[in-house]
Amino acid sequence: MGRIAALRCPQCGWEAVTDDTFACGACGAVLEAHMDLGHLTRSDVRVIRTSADKSLWRWFDFFPVKNRGSVVSLGEGYTPLTRCRRLGAHLGMERLYVKNDTLLPSGSLKDRSNSVGISRAVELGFDTAAVPSTGNAAASVAAYAAAAGMRSVVMVPAGTDAAKVTQARACGATVLMVDADLDGMGAFYRAAVKEFGWYDCLSTNPYRNEGKKSYAFELFDQLDEHVPHWIIHPTAGGAGLVATWKGYQELHGLGWAHRFPRLVAAQSAAAAPIAAALESGSATVEPVTAGATVAESIQVGNPHALGLRALRAVRASGGTGVALSDEEILAAQGLLARMAGIFAEPAAATSLAAAIRLRGEGVIGADDLVVCNVTGHGLKQVASVDMSADAVEPIRPDLDVLKERLKATGNEGQP
């Protein structure tokens, strides 16, 4: 079984006495789940790596769920780790890999968090899961709540395009349009969670934060126990960086992984407080007002829950942060699709955009093993792809007309 040693505050060391306490009683920081891994030996890594389980739950002992019977899984995890040879040669990176989380059950990395978080909710006896979200988190929470037989509630700001919450609605979520700005909606959400006893699926939940440790475990397995030189992650609140670093710390603590990767926080320049803190050498992450950006899924200006921990994780790894323009992000999205066949939403392509920037600056070497986490499917945000009227204009079934169309699109010769 998963052995939870403690829910402990990483800021001051305070420990919770109940399993359903998420915030530190002394300083208010988000607690962290500590697992007792002392029973694991070197022989266990061979057992884990040869398991028939093809989901992240192959690494059950590392997650804060006590009983396997509580696990809520849609087959998440073990997404392809693809060596992109053509794209890598084009960019001067001979060992460029993409961790393709576009293929997770609801289409984004949020499934890693919610499989673990909702599984723990089942053990704790919650009947309703809640989240404020207009996209990936909403879809994922609704899907896992449905699989668990729980109700789900999603809050979005008034005026949100209904298409953005279609997945959540389809999975039975109650979608509430709240007539307030983001700060006002956040305050209302917190009040509702307290009033109705809902299970909070934000990064203020220490159990759901553990799910993204699976990046470390899967990469360790898929790379035959080698550790990448660089792992680049699209970054909003910082949970992916924090959890990946924690996963590698656990592997290293067991003597299974013999070094650490360098982590890169890939952010939109319109919302890049973590990258800014890394560049300036600041000891804190100062909130910013998030501007408009094509990278909608990472448009977070105040990563209050885990931003500081993400900053510390990147620094401890010897990594860096990159703030990327919309032009760089869209260019990377296009390259990833055309040269690797992977259609990512813009936010998910920030990892590749960061790799391109860092390779151009000489920070990443030509022979470095680089993993870009691509965290959400392009179908989440199809409007980001430029489709001209000519591209969808019907043609007559005439070969001469076809030749003219091919000429106009530059598609006459070989690809």
What pLDDT digit, counting tens, does each position of 172-184 carry? 999 999 998 877 8
* DSSP state at residue 261: P
CA angle at residue 29 from 24 to 34, to 5 degrees? 70
**Shared domain check, 286 and 346:** yes
User: The dihedral of CA 351, 352, 354, 355: what is its sign?
Assistant: positive
Query: Domain for residue 256, yes or no?
Result: yes
Q: Quick one: CA torsion of 228, 333, 337, 377, rounded to 10 degrees?
A: 80
Q: Are residues 242 and 349 in the same domain?
A: yes
Choosing from 149, 167, 197, the residue where a domain stops is 197
118 belongs to a structural domain: no
CATH number of 164's domain: 3.40.50.1100
Containing structural domain, residue 175:
127-197
Looking at the predicted structure, is the pLDDT value of residue 214 above 90? Answer: yes
Residue 38: per-residue pLDDT: 94
The DSSP 8-state label assigned to residue 384 in this structure reads G
| The domain boundary residue, chosen from 197, 231, 249 | 197
The pLDDT assigned to 415 comes to 46
**What is the number of structural domains in the chain?**
2
Percent of the chain at pLDDT above 90?
88
Residue 190 and residue 217 in one domain = no
Separation between Cα atoms, residue 332 and residue 355, nearest integer Å: 9
Can you give the pTM of this predicted structure? 0.94
Between CA 255 and CA 61, with CA 54 as vertex, the angle to 5 degrees is: 40
Do 236 and 353 share a domain, yes or no? yes
Token pair of 182, please? 């983001």
Model pLDDT, residue 180? 87
Shared-domain flag, residues 163 and 135:
yes
Yes or no: say if 78 and 218 are a contact pair by the CB < 8 Å rule.
yes
Residues 252 and 220 grouped into a single domain: yes
| Beta-bridge mates of residue 34 | 6
Burial label, 51 (beta-carbon count in 10 A; 0-12, 13-18, 19+): middle
Whether 27 shows a pLDDT value over 80: the answer reads yes
Helix (H, G, I), strand (E, B) or coil at 207: helix
Q: Tell me the pLDDT of the chain averaged across its residues.
A: 95
Give mean pLDDT, residues 240-263: 98
Residue 177 shares a structural domain with residue 305? no
Q: Is 44 exposed, middle or buried (0-12, 13-18, 19+ CB in 10 A)?
A: middle
Last residue of a domain, one of 197, 224, 244: 197
Asked whether residue 159 is assigned to any structural domain, the reply reads yes
Q: Between the CA of residue 353 and those of 52, 231, 329, 348, what are the distances in Å?
A: 35, 13, 6, 10
